[in-house]
Structures are given as structure tokens and as C-alpha cells.
Structure 1
Amino acid sequence: MTQTPYRPAGNRHHVVIVGAGFGGINAARALADANVDITIINRTNHFIFAPLLYQVATGLLSVGEIASSVRQILANQDNVRVVRGNVDEIDTANQIVTSSDDGVASQFAYDSLILAAGAGQSYFGNDHFAEFAPGLKTADDALEVRARILDAFEKAELATSAEERERLLTFVLVGAGPTGVELAGQIAELAHRAFSGGQYSFSPDQTRILLIDGMPQVLPPFGKRLGRKAQRELEKAGVTVILNAIVTNVDAESVTYKSTKTNEETTVFTTTKIWSAGVQASPLGKMVAEQAGVEAERNGKVPVNADLTVGELSNVFIVGDMMSRDRLPGVAQVAIQSGEYVGKVLKAQIADEVAPEQREPFSYFDKGSMAIVTRFNAVVKMGKVEIAGFLGWMMWLYVHVSFLTGLRNRTVTALTWVYNALSSKRYNLPTTSGQRHISSGTSEN
């Protein structure tokens, strides 16, 4: 039976937003008082504050402290409908989006479409690495990584040989961007502070943490000076930083990397590998690009026009990690600002204030970048201003608390950070048997 695509009752302009990350949420908010109906299609019912996933993965925060219901975030907007589903097809000629949820297909007719589906992990053509080295893009990823980390310590407790324990207590992180650096620092703190005091029969100081990257420095976007400072702090915390090296193989028991200077290959035996070395935009971008006569880039990002539309499709917008424009980085601020921009230009268009051909071009304002390296130590870059150490750490705390959604999340997270700074204890370390089975590869994904 042919399904009639959903369209809200009445004649209002219908905006369909695919994705409820920073881009999608901010686009919807910008349309709060516009004469439109909005349908948001998202794979889950929550918005996740992705920059803090690494803290869930290391037991500092719980998922509930960085995730909020999309419906609750937009509860004050009476022009929004939220539906859960994976978008399978976009027909730009007939302006229909098809999604599915647990095998049930749904169709949505749109007048304007905003693609804000973000990006996943890229393994640079080696997708089989994912089974052994998960990324850190979703709440499920964070829980799986946490289970793998904690499972390694539990198995090390029962290890019957020094070689087996060494393999279990060796953690390899691929990619020295903000996620890799922050995760390496937190695993070091977990091993040397949270697990100290005789909790295990072995010394957690036996833990080895390797951070591997093909670039000549950590945190390349932060510049050489802050990169060197971050590397020194990581090494002081017990992290081994391996630069100018590309990973050539990952399997259940090891990681092999090759020096880009000498071509020498080294194999590290480890059970726990985490990948943060690249991103691949949602395949929906390529799907739409082909229909618009535009060629997507190798990483799946789609070149967009000055008003963030695609090709000749003046009613299809791409924001955040899915778009390619002026070499903008894949950071939250780009998604936030591009989402807000699209919401505003649509609002003006629908109010007959600005025609599509008269839209002001999108302009990104760089508010800076920041990353925590270790406890009391962060690096911050705002234009030409570079800050490192305790002041950077305080700035990081303030900015990230302010961006969390909901008073409860802000309060609980701030108190957790203060407590953790003063104490070595962590209260978000429990894992379930289901998570443990996933971490060992014995459960279906």
C-alpha cells in the first residue's frame, strides 16, 4: 500500500530537520517564533553533548549528565514535532524524506530541508578496524569504550602471567586531536589516581597509555606552542606520545604502526584500542549531492553555497559536520552557528523579508578552541591569544558548563568536576554484563 507522506495540517511552510545535534537543535530554536511547522527526525530521542563523551567513557560523568531529551529542550516551541528514525532516502525532486524505526517506514513531505546528521568515525578505508578500535561519537560508543577500559583492569586482576597483564594494561589511542588528548589524559588519571590505594592486587602504575598520530604534533589546530605544552603534560602524566606514525593494522590483540620518517613498523600488543583519528560525514550528504549535481568530498562532506544550500537546490541546506565551506573545522561552534544561520534565513524568507537569492552569506565567527589535557591543565586558543595551565582549565570548565542543556545537568556536572578535582574517587564506573559482552565482541551490535 502506498504511504501518504506526512505533512502537518494547515498550509504552513514545513521544515524537516534531519539530526538533533548542535546544528539541528539550533536551527529549530532559530525558527521558534516563525510561521512554520518543524519535524525533527533523529536516530535517538536525545541530544548528546558530544565534547564530553570522553568523560562518560572514563567514568567521570554519566550519560544522563550530558544528554537531554530533544522534546524537553524544545518544550517551549509549539511548532516542533520530534520523531525517532534513521533516514534511509531523500528524494529532492519530490521533496520527500523516508525514514525507518524498528522496521517501520515513514515518509515526510517538506518545503525546506535541513541536513544536520553530523559525522561518524573514519578509518580511512580500513573499516574492519572498527570491530577492535571503536570510535567515540555517540552515547553507545562512550559506554562501550568505558566497558572495554574497565574490563581490561578486571581481567588484569586475574592475569596469570606478566605478559598477559602487560597486554591488558596497555591502552592505545589513535588520533591526537582533542578527543584523543583528553581521553589519554583521563585514562592516565583513572589508572594513577582513581585506581590507586590498593584497589587491585597489581599496581595501576603498570598501565601503559600510547597516543599515536601521523602529524608531527598533538592538537595541530592549536599551534606548535600549545601542542608542545600539551604533549609535555601528557608525558608527565605517563602517556607515551608517538608522532609521525600511521596505523597500518589493528586486530584483537595488537596495533601496528609505521613511522612516516623511517618506514619502520612497530607492533604493540594490547586488548584496548580507541580510534579518534578522522571523521566521515553522514552518507545522506552524498545522497543529496548526487541529486544536486555536486560532488561530495572523500570524507563525505558536501561543498555548499554561500547560503549553505546545495547546488541549485535552494530549499535544501547542509550544516555542521556534513558541510564543506571555507575549510571550516568540524567543531561544535560551526554546527551551532550554521544551524542558527539557516534558521534565521528561512524565517526571513517565510516572512517575505528576504528572497532566497538575496540571502546574506554565512559568516563563521571563530570563538576559539580548548581542550583539557590533565587535571588542572587545559589549553585554550582564541585568535592570537594562547592560554595553558590552570587558567585554561578554569576557562574550559566555565565554557562547557554554560553550554550544557538544563539547570540540573549544569549543576550536577559542575559539582562532579569540583569533587573530582579534590578527590580521586569516581562514581560512574559500573558496567553491566551486556556492556561487557559488547566490549569483548560477543554481542550483536
Structure 2
Amino acid sequence: MPDTRPEAVSTTPLPADSVPSRPRVVIIGAGFGGLQAAQALDGAPVDVTVIDRENHHLFQPLLYQVATASLSPADIAWPIRGILRRQRNATVLMADVHAIDTRARMVHAGDIAIPYDQLILATGATHSYFGHDDWADAAPGLKRIEDATTIRRRLLLAFERAEMAGDDALRQRLLTFVVVGAGPTGVEMAGAIVEIARKILAPDFRRIDPRAARVVLVEAGPGILSSFPQDLAEYARTSLTAMGVEVLTGARVTACDADGVSVDLAEGQSPPPDSALVDGRIEAGTVVWGAGVVASPAARWIGGPQDRAGRIQVSPDLSVPGHPEIFAIGDTASVTGTDGKPVPGIAPAAKQMGAHVAALIRDRAAGKTASRHFTYRHEGDLATIGRRSAVVKRGRMTLTGYIGWLFWGVTHVYFLIGLRYRIAVAFKWAWDYMTLQRGARLITGTDHDGPVGQTATREPLVPHAAPQPQPARAEGS
């Protein structure tokens, strides 16, 4: 094992009065797995320190609804200190970890060093551009609140700029949206964008018809929702097409910039009639990335074994080989289930891992030395396609359409933290469903997108010019 002690790092140990005499458990990351582990250690004879670069826990499955103006960030994020405020053995630190000394058992975060006896790495994952990190500015992914508000800003700005544009080609490009990657996030994002354009924004503009917007879902694989049964994936594809989403499978993105994406179709593939793909290029004003993830640098911090995506390859009990005091969970870990298949990087899996590691630490604190293997219990696959439509696979139960959508909504509301948030989100969804309104349509913040009128031509606006919409596709159910 290489020496992973940080070199030339100036850090100061925590003050003596804050160093606990009981076993010290440090958890890096307050996502689903890390937070579950911390809460499961409530009342255990250990002292828990939770470190996260943010001050909030984020419910990522609903992050796309912030990006599409359905929910506000405060609906799906909660202060970590508030969640753990009644847990007397828990301390929360907002800091950015940059190194781990496995010999001295110290975590270096900011200007301090935090000692540990047991360490849980729950640092999650970030976007993977498959070696093309320069695409990140043109095609933001969706992992943090900042990502969601950036995408929301770009989506809404596209319509505002199209309203100002005097050139048909520019207007068409601004009203073309590309989503790269057809996993659950990509499918949900594409469906939400087309609903915004055709149902929410349609009455609000005068010089453009938002229903003329084009949404293109690009997937390099042969089909969408690859983790779902084939019949449900095909149902989702049919539903997206009926809504007006153009689905391109077998289409690998080869270039991405502020004006769109270049796509290479697999052999034997051809774009559908009237496709937005022309000569290997889709001209688009907004691109959203959902094609892949890469793990945090936690494996490099500890010098542990890792897979191609940077996830730490753990032992059956989720400990790091050679370091029984260090555990990796959630998207940080590469775990194989009892069926020989990789454990998916989803919230229920991370929560199960967090609970498993907490139970092991409780056993160790009680003097029990026997270990136990982690067993993953798959709780089902869910993806919403749009308003009144979703696909659900839970054991032998299969749901689609409106019933699937209701099940999806109830499930997600149930897993929100706190009764107040569950009621607020459920009421918000019900109100939006009845009124076709979205209250979080705020354009806030700034980035390189520039002011609203930046991309418009200098032709004078005609005060009462009639809109010149492109032919709208079927609105779907």
C-alpha cells in the first residue's frame, strides 16, 4: 500500500477539548448513505463527525424538478445541522476534504485535521464527460443545486432570447433542447422540458410559440432506460415520442459546444423523418448532460483499489481491502451483489450500505469482532416520463401510465425528510397538476450566458407582430 500521507499540508488538529475519548467515527459526505450511517449511529457509544462541503443534504432524485422550475431548491434540500441537531453524539463540519493520512488516521479538511478510528467514505460521484471535460460549460450535468439552477436559468433564458430574436434560424436553434443520456435522469428531464414548452409556457409569449420547441434525447446505447425491463423501456420510449420528444438511440456524441452537439450514429441507424439531426449535427441553444458519472477522488486519497469509474473496490463487508477501519458506500464504492451483478448507484442502495456499516461499527464498539457481508435488496426501478405517466418495476409488480405516476409521486414524497416538506411538495404537485403552473420560474444568478438580449439580432421589434410558430408535434397525454 503506498504512503498516502499528505505532503506539505499545513493543518491543525482539532482543539483538545473537541477530541472525544470514545471511538471516533468520521463520515465524509452527507448524501443518502452518509446521512443514513450517521443517523443509524444515534445513541451508539461512539462520537460521530460528519464532514460535507455543503451545509445541506440534497434529495437528488427530484433535482431535475428544480432544473425544470417545478420545485424550488428549498423543497428538496435541508440543513445537515438541522437534521442531526437532536443527535447528541454527532458533530457537523462544513469543510472540503483534500487528503487522508491512513497511517496517522487523520482526515485533512481545510486548515484542520480530524482524527478517526473508523472512517466512512460517502463522497458520491460527479459528471463524467468521458475524457472531454471541456464540454462541461456547454452541457452542465445534474448533481448539485447549483447545477439545477444553472440549467433552469438556461432553459428559461432560451425562451426569453427566442422572443427577442429576429432571425428564424436563431430562433429555431434557441428553441431546440438536447438531453444527452437516456437513463432515468435523462428521460425525466426530457419529458419535463417538453411539458414546460407545450403546457406551461405556451400562453405566456407573443412573438414565439413555445409549443414549437424541439426536445431531443440522445443515447449512445441501443435503447433507453437500460436498467429497466425491455417492455417498460419500450413503453417509456413510446410515451416520450407521443409527447413530442425525439429519441435518438445508437447515437454517440462526438463534440459539444454552445451551439449544439455533433453526433455519430451507429452502423445501421438512421434519424427519423424531420429529425433535428442534420449532417451529423444538432443545432441547439441548450444542452443537458446525463450520460455518465465518475466517482470522487476518495480512492486516490487512501490509495485504495478502484474500478474504471474511480469507485473503490471494497470487501464483502464494504471495508477497504487492507484497511478494515475504512468503509466506502454509495457511489464511492464498487459493490457486487449476491447475484453477481453490480449494485446500482441509487439512493436505496446507498441507504442500505449506510445502515450496514453503522451496524458493523456498533458491533465493534460492543466488542464483537465477527463481520457480516453486505446484502443488497433491490426495492424496484421508477422513472417518471411526464405529467400523468411513469414506469415502475417493484418485484413482480409492474405499473405504467397514470397509476405508475401516482405510485412514483407517493414514493418520492414518502422519502422526503420531515412532514412539513412532504406536505409542501405534495400540495405543490397537486396545485401544478390542476393549474398547469410552475411557481419556481425565476431566472437568477449569472454565468457566461450573458444578458437576455445578447443573442438577438438588431432588427427592430414589431409591437404587434403575430407569432410565427413552427408546426407543433402531438402534445401527448
**What is the TM-score with the length of structure 1 in the denominator?**
0.94
Deviation at 1:310, TM superposition (A): 0.6
The structure-2 alpha-carbon separation of the partners of 1:209 and 1:75, relative to structure 1 and needing over 3 Å to count, comes to same
Asked if 1:323 corresponds to 2:337, the answer is no
Deviation at 1:423, TM superposition (A): 1.6
Deviations 1:349-399 (A, max 9, x none): 1011x21xx211000110001011011111001134321111111111111
Paired position in structure 2 for 1:173? 179
Is there any run of 5+ residues in structure 2 with no aligned partner, and where? 1-9, 271-278, 337-341, 453-477
Distance 2:335 2:55 in 1: 29
Asked if 1:78 corresponds to 2:92, the answer is no
Paired position in structure 2 for 1:122? 128
Asked if 1:53 corresponds to 2:59, the answer is no
Asked if 1:91 corresponds to 2:114, the answer is no
Which of the numbers 1, 12, 30 marks the counterpart of 1:3? 12
Paired position in structure 2 for 1:347? 362
Distance 1:2 1:202 in 2: 57
Which of the numbers 215, 221, 246 marks the counterpart of 1:240? 246
Distance 1:440 1:122 in 2: 26
Task: List aligned pairs for 1:22-421, cutoff 5 A.
Answer: 22-100=32-110, 105-262=111-268, 266-288=280-302, 290=303, 292=304, 294=305, 296-326=306-336, 327-352=342-367, 354-355=368-369, 358-421=370-433
Deviation at 1:198, TM superposition (A): 4.5
How many matched pairs? 429
Distance 1:328 1:56 in 2: 27
Greater CA deviation, 261-270 or 170-179?
261-270
Q: Give, as a single letter, the amino acid of the residue that structure 2 aligns with 1:351.
A: A
- The answer as to whether partners of 1:308 and 1:318 remain within 8 angstroms in 2 is yes
Asked if 1:12 corresponds to 2:26, the answer is no
The structure-2 alpha-carbon separation of the partners of 1:184 and 1:6, relative to structure 1 and needing over 3 Å to count, comes to farther
- The answer as to whether partners of 1:148 and 1:440 remain within 8 angstroms in 2 is no
Distance 2:61 2:264 in 1: 29
- The answer as to whether partners of 1:58 and 1:190 remain within 8 angstroms in 2 is yes
Distance 1:331 1:426 in 2: 27
Q: Give, as a single letter, the amino acid of the residue that structure 2 aligns with 1:183.
A: M
Distance 1:374 1:9 in 2: 51
What secondary structure is seen at the aligned counterpart in 2 of 1:131?
A: coil
- The answer as to whether partners of 1:286 and 1:301 remain within 8 angstroms in 2 is no
Greater CA deviation, 375-384 or 333-342?
375-384
Matched-pair identity in %: 39
Distance 1:266 1:47 in 2: 41
Is there any run of 5+ residues in structure 1 with no aligned partner, and where? none
Distance 1:439 1:62 in 2: 21
Q: Give, as a single letter, the amino acid of the residue that structure 2 aligns with 1:118.
A: G
The structure-2 alpha-carbon separation of the partners of 1:214 and 1:10, relative to structure 1 and needing over 3 Å to count, comes to closer
Deviation at 1:96, TM superposition (A): 0.5
Paired position in structure 1 for 2:439? 427
The structure-2 alpha-carbon separation of the partners of 1:257 and 1:25, relative to structure 1 and needing over 3 Å to count, comes to same
Q: Give, as a single letter, the amino acid of the residue that structure 1 aligns with 2:363.
A: A
Deviation at 1:287, TM superposition (A): 2.6
The structure-2 alpha-carbon separation of the partners of 1:160 and 1:381, relative to structure 1 and needing over 3 Å to count, comes to same
What secondary structure is seen at the aligned counterpart in 2 of 1:274?
A: strand
Q: Give, as a single letter, the amino acid of the residue that structure 1 aligns with 2:12.
A: Q
Distance 1:6 1:120 in 2: 33
- The answer as to whether partners of 2:163 and 2:205 remain within 8 angstroms in 1 is no
Deviation at 1:127, TM superposition (A): 0.7
Deviations 1:276-309 (A, max 9, x none): 0001000112332x2x4x2x11111111001101
Q: Give, as a single letter, the amino acid of the residue that structure 1 aligns with 2:298.
A: L
Q: Give, as a single letter, the amino acid of the residue that structure 1 aligns with 2:324.
A: S
The structure-2 alpha-carbon separation of the partners of 1:67 and 1:61, relative to structure 1 and needing over 3 Å to count, comes to same
What secondary structure is seen at the aligned counterpart in 2 of 1:387?
A: strand
Deviation at 1:214, TM superposition (A): 1.0
Paired position in structure 1 for 2:455? none
What secondary structure is seen at the aligned counterpart in 2 of 1:404?
A: coil
Deviations 1:61-110 (A, max 9, x none): 0000000011111122011111111110011111011112xxxx111010
Deviation at 1:192, TM superposition (A): 0.4
CA RMSD of aligned residues (A): 1.6
